A and B are shown apart, each in its own frame.
Chain A
């Protein structure tokens, strides 16, 4: 620690007036909370106006407040010399490390940075290091940063990011107070008119003003008698430059201007006449009150400056806050800060979404500038629009068409409950049952019932989920794929058992499940077997499928079969033909799909002109001869059932007649 602070340069010896009140207030605030208020603090003033005094006073006060704090004061020349010496000795790094322990660095006379690029870089590095670690740096100069010739723009910006403040020439009252203080320190008692005369000299620099007083102190000490104003004027006139001499004010009548008799003691210090100019006590009081008030009223500056540092450190543009700092007295700075931080929070969300959507704008500076929030929103919206929506449920399947019987009642009730309050009661709902029992119908029916404005219902088979994921992996667009499904309000996955053994798909579904479940979005799955009986399924996914309601759809009973056949016949001829319906419902079929196949075969026979629709025709078709093979080769019918979308429903459905082989074939095919 190399502290060479002049013990006389303290705040209580620093006379505060209108010209330096702001600087003194800021300096005191910084000294009391280094690194927290204005960092960096840049003071500038013409020579002799008290910059060094203020810098050192800050050092003293900061050490009084926190004796553990390391304070270092140095002039720029010393900084340069020491750096050059360190470089010459090959100790450049050691020199840099030297400042890592300094809690408050006071650098005087930085105007000498002009044209010193190397030192500017070094000071920039040091300033950055001090700012990022929350340590205080205070600089002084005889001109503002922007007027220092050939100064690196980055340094100017750094300085402007804190507080740049000037000290102008003191007013008359302050000059009187400074001279009085100095005279007291020198234990010299002057007639008030003498002090007033000196204060009235056209000398801007305090240092020179004190020089003039020093001459009077010396003169009075030699003469061993109090000077009068007239004598003082004569003394100064001898040594002052002509320009100043001509301005030495004439002694003011009635204020002690006459010759005082030799040997008369000056008035006791404790008794002050009413006409005395601003006393030090009031100045000191005012300074402290200003400082205390500024701390309270201008606490916002501290908050804003901290926010600037924080967000700049995180790479965000803080122009809005910096403009705020430049304002003298903004209306509601805290609200501005709150809005700024809300905008940053929004930008962060948007950036995450843009990345998930794989938007071209992801990672652009746009997402680091709160003033371009609207642009960022626009970019993300554009990306969202470009995102193809996930597959939706087939509209032909409606819940009202699903035949409810004693066996299916529980599943229907569960579906109704899910439709009434999605995501709240049964989440997920898992429909299990053999092939063709109506799982897909119910699944799509739920999807259709939930679809509506603002609702994005994703409905697809597990196989398609896997296919899409493989394509996404292949094209390196997995985040895009995820975003596509994570937007869904409702997720419906048919035949989830087909994910068995597909680890990556299961993992993605696991994460998708978590995202949707956390935000209360409804999921419905279908499976041929209960989740706990699924082979090749990760336990973490299995337990999640079990978490809601698992409900079984049994094979259709007679009642269901008759209802289905009647509906199909009614759709064809408007008449259910009870006898035909009863006959068809009594045929030995394992599931609804097979039953529908039977009905289609009979209807096809009627179409082919084999006879009118009757139990006889049905018997002939179903018992007398097998269904015409040409129907299958047409490609518009699957296992006898017209595909709802006018094409083959799926390969699996086509080979449904050979389930064991089909599953294996599909696996081999992949």
Chain B
């Protein structure tokens, strides 16, 4: 996906929320959806199972209006977290300009986080993306849960963030950290714009 189209003066950023199942990716999008004026958001498309698990992906288009002469659109996607949907994840990841890795802060989900992060890196690598230079931030969701159940942000960083990405504590249900995370990844994506970088093919 081309990030900037100078001919049509459009900027389209595709941001993918990635992470293990039930970590709160869809909650992030739902919170954002709830805060965006109706005129600015498209219909949020959610393909969910009967038990509210994401079956295929969520898609939330955001129209940020004309900024500096460019019609700017953000497209937010989530991937299904369950291990057996890897083909779908690869498909959604294609052409992403940035990725938010939503980790589950519960101590018992640490292995799932690690597995999902490894899966993300493998999938990006499979698409020829160098993860070291790719816009990626981490969100440690569910930080509102009792302290004895979760790992703190430094603990999560210690376990997952060996590359030193920006990380944000989050409570996606109530919105804490949701927009901070979105801002964080947006800034990285836009910085790439300045460097003339593009998303993976």
Contacts and interface: CB of A to CB of B under 8 A. Distances in A.
Note whether A and B form a binding pair.
yes
Interface of A: 18, 21, 25, 173, 270, 272, 274, 276-279, 281-282, 284-286, 288-290, 292-299, 328-329
A300 to B, nearest CB: 10
B199 to A, nearest CB: 15
Given A276-B34, A282-B40, A292-B187, A270 B174 contact: yes
A488 to B, nearest CB: 47
Contact of B72 (A18, A285, A293): A293
Contacts of B69: 297, 328-329
Interface in B40-69: 40, 64-65, 67-69
B35 interface: yes
A18 B37 CA distance: 13
Contacts of A299: 194
A327 to B, nearest CB: 9
B34 A272 contact: yes
Interface stretch (B17-25, B95-103, B178-186): B178-186
A272 B35 contact: yes
A321 to B, nearest CB: 18
A281 B9 contact: no
B190 A282 contact: no
18 contacts: A173-B37, A274-B34, A277-B37, A278-B35, A278-B37, A278-B40, A279-B34, A279-B35, A281-B35, A281-B175, A282-B35, A284-B179, A285-B186, A286-B64, A290-B64, A294-B68, A297-B68, A329-B69
Contact of B179 (A276, A278, A282): A282
Nearest to A280: B35
Given A286-B64, A329-B68, A293 B37 contact: no
Contact of B182 (A173, A278, A285, A295): A285
Contacts of A289: 64, 67, 72, 183, 186, 190
Contacts of A296: 190-191, 193-194
Most buried by A among B37, B182, B183: B37
Contacts of A297: 11, 67-70, 193
B36 interface: yes
A296 B67 CA distance: 11
Nearest to A327: B69
Nearest to A298: B68
Interface of B: 9, 11, 32, 34-37, 40, 64-65, 67-70, 72, 174-175, 178-179, 182-183, 186-187, 190-191, 193-194
A285 B40 CA distance: 13
Sorted nearest first, the 10 A-B pairs with minimum C-beta distance are A329-B69, A279-B35, A297-B68, A296-B194, A278-B37, A281-B179, A270-B174, A282-B35, A294-B68, A293-B67
A296 B6 CA distance: 13
A328 B66 CA distance: 12
Contacts of B36: 278-279, 282
Given A272-B34, A296-B190, 8 more contacts: A282-B32, A282-B40, A285-B179, A288-B183, A288-B187, A292-B191, A293-B190, A299-B194
Most buried by B among A272, A286, A290, A293: A293
A532 to B, nearest CB: 60
A116 B178 CA distance: 52
A279 B34 CA distance: 8
A293 B11 contact: yes
A470 B123 CA distance: 82
A279 B67 CA distance: 19
Contacts of B182: 285
A325 to B, nearest CB: 13
Contacts of B178: 281
Contact of B9 (A278, A279, A329): A329
Given A277-B37, A279-B35, A282-B37, A292 B186 contact: yes
Given A282-B40, A285-B179, A292 B35 contact: no
Contact of A294 (B37, B65, B67): B67
Nearest to B33: A274
Contacts of B35: 272, 276, 278-279, 281-282
B139 to A, nearest CB: 15
B123 to A, nearest CB: 27
Contacts of A292: 186-187, 190-191
A272 to B, nearest CB: 6
B84 to A, nearest CB: 33
A16 to B, nearest CB: 11
A282 B178 CA distance: 11
Contacts of A277: 37
A294 B36 CA distance: 21
Contacts of B175: 270, 281
Nearest to A291: B67
Contacts of A25: 67-68
Contacts of A18: 65
